[in-house]
Structure 1
Amino acid sequence: MLKITPYLGSLVVIVSLGGLWYPILGYFMFLVMGTLFITSLFRGRWFCGNLCPRGSYFDYGIIKISKKRKIPKILSSMWVRVPAFTLMMALMMYRISVTFAAQNTFELIGTILVSMCLVTTIIGTMLGGYFNTRSWCNACPMGTMQRFIGGNKHQLQMDHESCVDCKLCEKVCPMELKVRDIGNNPDCIKCGRCVEKCPKDSLSF
């Protein structure tokens, strides 16, 4: 992960709460969406593990209250993720389109973006608190979009000959992936924790 990663979580609080008084903060969401779209073309879900403010919020904030229960597999099911992505995008576009008939369109769009950030953050906080911290990331609509765009990019590599099967990599994976079989797992967020934890330097990107 990047050196700035631990500090990005504060942006979620600023946008979600500060945006209630200053709706213009909601436009930060467009910057996030644009950045994750561009990075996903080359590195898949790398944004999730390195630049995502909500991911940082989970890793360095919610982790303090998380019960760290196993993430339900249904959250990573496409039967949940695709409808969630479709519903979120459709709802956002509909709400934004309605505002064009109003005089204060700019402020209303900001309010819509803030409300989306706040609602998804509350859901993510509840999931991360009751289950493991990155539970929301398994079903995240934006993460799902990155998976479809560049899920086969920048994949984790493993030297199976040097691997001693200690499973330390799997214990630190925030997405609870089977790292040793990760070959082409499109939901790897490229946070690098498994690489840092491996005692034999068997993992690399």
Structure 2
Amino acid sequence: MKQKKWYSYLWIVELLYLCLGLFNILFAWLGMLFFTIPLLIAVFGGGKAYCNRYCGRGQLLGLLGEKLKLSRNVPPPKFLRSRWFRYGFLAFFMTMFGLMLFSTYKVFTGAPLQQTVTLLWVFKLPWQWAEVDMVSPWIAQFAFGFFSVMLTSTVLGFVTMVLFRPRSWCVYCPMGTMTQGICILKHGKEVAAHGRKSKEDRGVAEAAGK
């Protein structure tokens, strides 16, 4: 039997991150690694290696969809893979991220701390039990906002995993779209097209056992 590589177990890191965030909201700061590492890999010549190999969330969705059979395993709709939807979702996602940073800035300038995690940008989950007194309020505010972003994107990944193929989230993941954009800027349309094909093939078809 072929021995698995060390990066095949990075789904544990994704699961551990979510659990730590529920235990103490300040662990949400660790999620910045999930934001910066894919971009740095793309900038320094690694292309979409993070999406294809190191993404713990993609691995977790594949595990739940394939091994536990929680996915319907049907192709995602064409609009989900379209350029307008992917870049539109990225723009919306970054707008929400910008609003989160603005909320953090307001707390930094004296506004009261909002101890809530917002799921799907609408539903506010109370988090009053979180221990955040040991840090500055703006640090805690960023943690609440950033965990909201991470939890929301995870839920969206689970929903598309159940409805379609296990790694359908990879098709419109904002980080995947940004790394592909970096590939376009660095290597031109030919490599970008190859990256998009790799993203769809590795993130959807291969994860579904095709």
TM-score by length of 2: 0.69
More deviation in 78-87 or 58-67? 58-67
Q: 1:60 to 1:5 in 2, by over 3 A?
A: farther
Q: Find the residue that maps to 2:22 and give its secondary structure.
A: coil
Q: Find the residue that maps to 1:100 and give its secondary structure.
A: helix
Alignment partner, residue 169 of structure 2: 136
Give the distance between the partners of 2:155 and 2:137, measured in 1 at CA.
Answer: 27
Give the distance between the partners of 1:184 and 1:120, measured in 2 at CA.
Answer: 25
Aligned residues: 166
1:185 aligns with 2:189: no
Task: Give deviations 1:119-142, integer Å, cap 9, x for gaps.
Answer: 111111111112101111101111
Task: Give deviations 1:77-97, integer Å, cap 9, x for gaps.
Answer: 111111111111111121122
Alignment partner, residue 50 of structure 1: 53
Alignment partner, residue 62 of structure 1: 65
Gaps of 5+ in 2: 108-135
Task: Give deviations 1:37-85, integer Å, cap 9, x for gaps.
Answer: 0111213221011111111111223322112111222111111111111
Once the two structures are aligned, what percentage of the paired residues are identical?
23
Q: Find the residue that maps to 2:106 and give its secondary structure.
A: coil
Task: Give deviations 1:150-169, integer Å, cap 9, x for gaps.
Answer: 15989xxxxxxxxxxxxxxx
Give the distance between the partners of 1:128 and 1:153, measured in 2 at CA.
Answer: 31
2:8 to 6, 9, 27: 6
**TM-align CA RMSD:** 2.8
Q: Find the residue that maps to 2:175 and give its secondary structure.
A: helix
1:39 to 38, 41, 53: 41
Q: Do the aligned partners of 2:28 and 2:146 also contact (CA within 8 Å) in 1?
A: yes
Runs of 4+ deviating beyond 6 Å: none
Give the distance between the partners of 2:184 and 2:73, measured in 1 at CA.
Answer: 26
Q: 1:153 to 1:69 in 2, by over 3 A?
A: farther
TM-score by length of 1: 0.71
Give the distance between the partners of 1:54 and 1:153, measured in 2 at CA.
Answer: 26
Give the distance between the partners of 1:129 and 1:83, measured in 2 at CA.
Answer: 23
Higher helix share: 2
Q: Find the residue that maps to 2:145 and give its secondary structure.
A: helix
